[in-house]
Structure 1
């Protein structure tokens, strides 16, 4: 997702340090302090405009959610959503999702969401895919024992690659959906912005759930 720079983004982010963190390194091992309740922590890597993480936090108040986004203007759009209905179980992070080990302590996270990640289709860019083995190593470090990963994408090639990479890494698959919106999981599904757009066009949505 590429969004044109928005002049209002920086002032908005600076005005709400209670909702969005720009220096997450300082919170490593202490994320529960950002929430009212000590609850399982789920993070979304690349939250985009925040539709998914915001609606998940509303739907599951018994879970603490963190949305991570690297693009400042996009994170600011997500922050606008949060400001309309402040949720005590939701925090935003403006940072690079590739540096999770710097932000989260070993075993601090219960679940990771990878929603419509850049598929990086060219073979020379394989190491940039968020399901490449080096990323999986990082996820394993910050997740609790048997911690979960949930992935959704419209890109069949990326989905097949992710299945292979995760299987080779030793992850255990709990569910695989080749057409999520026409499966028994559709009723409980929370959509992202991309997902809604793609599904409206009739594109198939793929999903997998797995754990270490």
Structure 2
């Protein structure tokens, strides 16, 4: 999808360091201090316009949420949502997920959400997929023992690739749904992409996996 450039985005990001945390590496190992409470810490990689993370933070005030987004013209939409509905348990990072271990200490994170990640369908782009083994290695480092990864996608090929990649890496696939919105466990919390694809009648695939 082509991202519309927003020339004012950089200034807006700089104006709100209370939400989009500058120099996040300085909080490595100390994120709960920034939030001012001891609670499970969960991160969404590719938070997009912020619909999922704001809904999760509203529903689960007993948990802490950090949304990661590398596109400045996208993260400002998530920022606007958190300005309209300030949530003490939600923050954003304008960084690249490939550098995850620069920002989070070993075992600091309880859960990682991968929602509608770019499937990078061409074989030559496999290393860019967020479930490629180099990304999984970083997730394992920052997740606590038994910490989970939750993935949602509309792309069956990427879903199948992710299951195979996680299994080869030694992860346990704890839950699989081939039609998440028809599942008894569906919680009603969605992303912008999820709404778009679901309205077109496309099935949403979901899994939960963990390291042992």
Q: Please tell me the TM-score bracket, short chain as reference.
A: over 0.9
Root-mean-square deviation (Å):
1.0
1:144 aligns with 2:147: no
- Which secondary structure state, in structure 2, belongs to the residue aligned with residue 114 of structure 1? strand
TM-aligned CA deviation for residue 22 of structure 1: 3.4
State the distance in 2 between where 1:76 and 1:183 align: 32
Superposed CA deviations along residues 4-56 of structure 1, whole A, max 9, x for unmatched, are 22133222211111111232212111111221322110000000000000100
TM-aligned CA deviation for residue 85 of structure 1: 1.2
Tell me which residue corresponds to 1:78.
78
Tell me which residue corresponds to 2:38.
38
TM-score by length of 1: 0.97
- Which secondary structure state, in structure 1, belongs to the residue aligned with residue 145 of structure 2? strand
8 Å CA contact 1:22, 1:95 repeated in 2: no
- Which secondary structure state, in structure 1, belongs to the residue aligned with residue 151 of structure 2? strand
TM-aligned CA deviation for residue 199 of structure 1: 0.1
TM-score by length of 2: 0.97
In structure 1, stretches of 5+ residues that fail to align are none
In structure 2, stretches of 5+ residues that fail to align are none
Tell me which residue corresponds to 1:99.
99
TM-aligned CA deviation for residue 99 of structure 1: 0.7
8 Å CA contact 1:114, 1:149 repeated in 2: yes
Of 35-44 and 193-202, the range deviating more from structure 2: 35-44
State the distance in 1 between where 2:2 and 2:112 align: 23
8 Å CA contact 1:34, 1:91 repeated in 2: no
State the distance in 2 between where 1:189 and 1:97 align: 26
Q: How many pairs align?
A: 211
Tell me which residue corresponds to 1:195.
194
Tell me which residue corresponds to 1:9.
9
After TM superposition, list the pairs within 5 Å mapping 1:1-212 onto structure 2.
Answer: 1-186=1-186, 188-212=187-211
Of 201-210 and 12-21, the range deviating more from structure 2: 12-21
TM-aligned CA deviation for residue 78 of structure 1: 0.6
